[in-house]
């Protein structure tokens, strides 16, 4: 049965309906009739096929019809962007249609059989990309249609134009804040936490004393030390790195100490029957078992690092850096520049997190959460 | 109970280290003052001076404790605008500022953890959400929240929302993420064997969730709730920085930083710390009770 194999029937119905409304209300006069007829017909046939399971089709044909349908929708999208918001039904139908279409596509992608080759990897990247592209598109359309003032929310196209125009400034800020402030602080903080955790691990007394204290300190709003760090280490990047060190140290420490204690008595006994030394037990049993915990801490710390470096710049910085740029450009109501910085920060942070997640998958491949989903 | 002695000794070591650090940190100022006065400081005089400066680079622990006491109990009991004289909390006391921050924190935490659990359930049960939402939840955390805080507040002001809600939104934003990450991990913690067992019982999706996934996610949930409430507090404090808020612990930090009032900064910092510690301890207590009733307690 074809019907049971596919999900997202109501989204498909919605897209078809939206297209119908688009075509009948305004799209007819705005678009060349043959294009609209052909694409509308293709999409309609495609969705009839999916919803009713009729008419029966070869697999390849589905995809071709889908491509034609997407082309029609993109065409509609262009029209919706140019559209006069006065024809509200037309506009809303086109927007809803595109949104449902994207949703449906993502659902189809996620349902597709898993593949381990390049195509499979490409597909797994396509789904989040589609989701993000849809969000961006909705943002763009909403800003244009509602005529949102530039000082409240600039459109993505305006932000993109700004990014292209000021790559040099963005690069200088990126180096100052991310490379010098966040990365160096992250490296120092994580290294210190790991060494400290191993030292603590040797003594039960220290572990029992430091774990509650470390937990307490990890929960503190450490970002509040930013004004103090700026006072101590000056305006340049060392003070930002110091804030980042203080922020990432405790989450990594607590997770590592917890992870090192995560083995079962049975497993430790086994190591003892092998007469393993402390170092052997650590390397072969407890460190591997602690890895999921350590990576949990590393991931939390990776998002904290960038936030810490940027926030610390609000308390004083040289005339470069992402936090500096954001606070001054907000004051000058240049919100497109602010969003450009935010985009760079989000991209850098995501890449950073992604790299750590990749390493985690490689190191802790055995953990249930990394295996078949 | 057996960890009281180690905790006390670690804390004592930290305090001793702090006192030792106070002397070199503040010595510069003390020496400068002495040179201007044309006197030579003995070591004992130097130590007393570094411990009692009005605007030290690093205040001594007892100075911070003193400032905390003055700006809470003393201010409310005897202050002109204190609770004893006016019947309402003084706007100079940390109790008042702490309450302002706490209310935003709790609101944001409640919304954030509910949202986080809902998202995690969706991600675990819907492959479309797993494929598309998770990367964006991660990307959302890399956006420096402080940067968009003023914009959020401007936009919300334009549609008539002011006061507590904008701060709570920023708390929500920071606190939903740890819950999503922890709960996704927790809901996926049951291994294939357990899931297969459920399948041999021919359990429905809802039953697998209620009887296997949800209970085995509980330790993860509480671990992430602890992180989330601390993050919510950070969010509320950070939200008070850029918006020119006149009340709240963040506002105290900022005004202390502007006027070089280091004692005020440290007192606000410690008030925030005490608040965070009690909130985390509260969740830890609920965790212990819950896990014990589920038979998972130590």
For residue A116, is it within any domain? yes
CATH number at residue A251: 1.10.3720.10
Question: In B, which residues are within 8 Å of A314 by CB distance?
Answer: 146, 241-242
Based on the domain organization, do A194 and A101 belong to the same domain?
A: no
Based on the domain organization, do A133 and A168 belong to the same domain?
A: no
Based on the domain organization, do A257 and A328 belong to the same domain?
A: yes
Nearest chain A residue (CA) to B8: A209
For residue B77, is it within any domain? no
The answer on pLDDT for A105 being more than 50 is: yes
Question: In A, which residues are within 8 Å of B7 by CB distance?
Answer: 208-209, 212-213
Closest partner residue to A110 (CB to CB) among B130, B147, B272 is B130
Q: Which of A147, A170, A197 is the last residue of a domain?
A: A147
pLDDT value for B117: 92
What length does chain B have?
A: 298
Range of the domain at A359: 162-370
The answer on pLDDT for B79 being more than 60 is: yes
Chain B CB within 8 Å of residue A253 CB:
no
Indicate the burial class of A127 (C-beta count within 10 angstroms; 0-12, 13-18, 19 or more): buried
The shortest C-alpha distance from B32 to chain A (Å) reads: 18
Based on the domain organization, do A167 and A208 belong to the same domain?
A: yes
Question: In A, which residues are within 8 Å of B242 by CB distance?
Answer: 314, 327, 330
Based on the domain organization, do B146 and B48 belong to the same domain?
A: no
HSE (CB half, 13 Å, CA atoms) of B138? Answer: 24
The answer on pLDDT for A4 being more than 60 is: no
**Cα–Cα nearest to B136, from B161, B119, B112, B153:** B119
CATH number at residue B272: 1.10.3720.10
Contact B183, B244 (CB under 8 A): no
The shortest C-alpha distance from B12 to chain A (Å) reads: 11
Q: Which of A147, A175, A206 is the last residue of a domain?
A: A147
For residue A152, is it within any domain? no
Burial A65-101 (b: 16+ CB within 10 A, else e): bbebbbebbebbbebbbebeeeeeebbbbbbbbbbbb
When divided into structural domains, chain B yields a total of 2
Based on the domain organization, do B148 and B6 belong to the same domain?
A: no
Closest partner residue to B257 (CB to CB) among A152, A227, A335 is A227
Total Cβ atoms within 10 A of residue A353: 20
For residue B86, is it within any domain? no
Chain A CB within 8 Å of residue B241 CB:
yes
**Cα–Cα nearest to A239, from A195, A184, A192, A194:** A184
Chain A CB within 8 Å of residue B298 CB:
no
For residue A192, is it within any domain? yes
The answer on pLDDT for A174 being more than 70 is: yes
Chain A CB within 8 Å of residue B139 CB:
yes
Contact A105, A5 (CB under 8 A): no
Q: How far is CA A77 from CA A101, A104, A138, B280, in A?
A: 11, 16, 10, 49
Based on the domain organization, do A305 and A214 belong to the same domain?
A: yes
Residue bearing the bigger pLDDT, B50 or A195: A195
Range of the domain at B38: 1-58
Distance between CA B271 and CA B265 in Å, rounded?
Answer: 10
Q: Do A127 and B132 touch (CB under 8 A)?
A: yes
Q: How far is CA B35 from CA A65, B41, B47, B224, in A?
A: 87, 9, 16, 54
The shortest C-alpha distance from B210 to chain A (Å) reads: 18
Chain B CB within 8 Å of residue A274 CB:
no
Based on the domain organization, do A26 and A113 belong to the same domain?
A: yes
Give the mean pLDDT of A70-83. 60
pLDDT digits (tens, 9 = 90+) for A144-171: 777 777 777 888 888 898 889 888 888 9
Distance between CA A249 and CA A259 in Å, rounded?
Answer: 15
Based on the domain organization, do A131 and A170 belong to the same domain?
A: no
**Percentage with pLDDT > 70 across chain A:** 67
Q: Do A326 and B191 touch (CB under 8 A)?
A: no
For residue B46, is it within any domain? yes
Residue bearing the bigger pLDDT, B31 or A52: B31
When divided into structural domains, chain A yields a total of 2
């Amino acid at each position: 049965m074809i019907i049971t194999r596919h999900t997202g029937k109501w989204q498909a119905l919605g897209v078809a309906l939206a297209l119908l409304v688009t075509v009948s209300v305004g799209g007819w006069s705005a678009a060349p009739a043959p294009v609209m007829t052909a694409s509308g017909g293709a999409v309609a046939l495609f969705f009839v096929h999916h919803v009713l399971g009729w008419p029966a089709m070869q697999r390849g044909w589905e995809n071709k019809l889908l491509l034609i349908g997407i082309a029609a929708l993109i065409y509609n999208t262009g029209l919706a962007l140019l559209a006069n918001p006065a024809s509200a039904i037309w506009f809303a139908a086109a927007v809803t249609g595109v949104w449902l279409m994207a949703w449906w596509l993502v659902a189809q992608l996620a349902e597709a059989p898993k593949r381990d080759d390049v195509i499979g990897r490409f597909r797994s990247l396509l789904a989040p990309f589609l989701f993000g592209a849809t969000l961006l598109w909705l943002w763009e359309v909403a800003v244009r249609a509602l005529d949102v003032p530039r000082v409240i929310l600039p459109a993505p196209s305006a932000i993109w134009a700004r990014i292209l125009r000021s790559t040099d400034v963005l690069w200088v800020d990126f180096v100052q804040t991310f490379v010098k402030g966040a990365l160096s602080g992250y490296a120092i903080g994580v290294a210190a936490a790991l060494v400290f955790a191993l030292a603590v691990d040797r003594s039960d007394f220290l572990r029992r004393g430091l774990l509650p204290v470390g937990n307490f300190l990890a929960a503190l709003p450490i970002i509040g030390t930013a004004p103090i760090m700026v006072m101590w280490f000056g305006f340049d990047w060392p003070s930002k790195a110091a804030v980042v060190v203080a922020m990432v140290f405790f989450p990594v420490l607590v997770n590592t100490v917890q992870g090192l204690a995560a083995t079962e008595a049975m497993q430790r006994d086994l190591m003892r029957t092998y007469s393993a030394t402390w170092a052997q037990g650590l390397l072969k049993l407890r460190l591997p078992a602690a890895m999921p915990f350590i990576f949990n801490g590393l991931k939390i710390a990776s998002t904290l690092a960038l936030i810490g470096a940027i926030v610390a710049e609000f308390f004083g910085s040289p005339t470069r850096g992402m936090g500096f740029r954001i606070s001054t450009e907000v004051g000058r109501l240049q919100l497109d520049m602010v969003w450009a910085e935010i985009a760079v920060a989000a991209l850098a942070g995501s890449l950073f997190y992604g790299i750590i997640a990749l390493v985690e998958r490689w190191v802790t491949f055995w953990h249930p959460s990394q295996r078949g989903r | 109970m057996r960890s009281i002695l180690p905790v006390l000794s670690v804390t004592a070591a930290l305090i001793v280290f702090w006192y030792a650090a106070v002397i070199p940190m503040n010595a510069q100022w003390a020496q400068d003052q002495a040179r201007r006065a044309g006197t030579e400081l003995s070591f004992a005089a130097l130590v007393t001076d570094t411990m009692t400066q009005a605007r030290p680079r690093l205040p001594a622990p007892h100075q911070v404790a003193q400032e905390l006491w003055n700006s809470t109990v003393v201010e409310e009991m005897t202050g002109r605008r204190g609770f004893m004289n006016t019947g309402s909390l003084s706007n100079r006391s940390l109790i008042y500022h702490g309450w302002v921050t706490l209310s935003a924190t709790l609101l944001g935490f409640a919304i954030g953890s509910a949202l986080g659990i809902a998202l995690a359930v969706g991600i675990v049960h819907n492959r479309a959400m797993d494929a598309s939402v998770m990367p964006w939840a991660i990307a959302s955390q890399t956006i420096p929240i402080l940067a968009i805080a003023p914009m959020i507040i401007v936009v919300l002001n334009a549609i008539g929302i002011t006061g507590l809600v904008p701060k709570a939104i920023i708390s929500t934003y920071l606190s939903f993420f740890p819950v999503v990450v922890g709960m996704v991990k927790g809901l996926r913690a049951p291994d294939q064997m357990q899931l297969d067992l459920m399948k041999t019982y021919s359990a429905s999706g809802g039953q697998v969730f209620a009887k296997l996934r949800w209970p085995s996610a509980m330790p993860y949930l509480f671990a992430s709730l602890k992180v989330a409430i601390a993050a919510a507090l950070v969010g509320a404090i950070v939200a008070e920085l850029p918006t020119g808020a006149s009340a709240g612990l963040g506002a105290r930090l900022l005004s202390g930083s502007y006027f070089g009032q280091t004692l005020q900064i440290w007192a606000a910092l410690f008030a925030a710390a005490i608040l965070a510690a009690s909130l985390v301890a509260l969740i830890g207590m609920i965790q212990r009770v819950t896990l014990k009733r589920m038979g998972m307690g130590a």
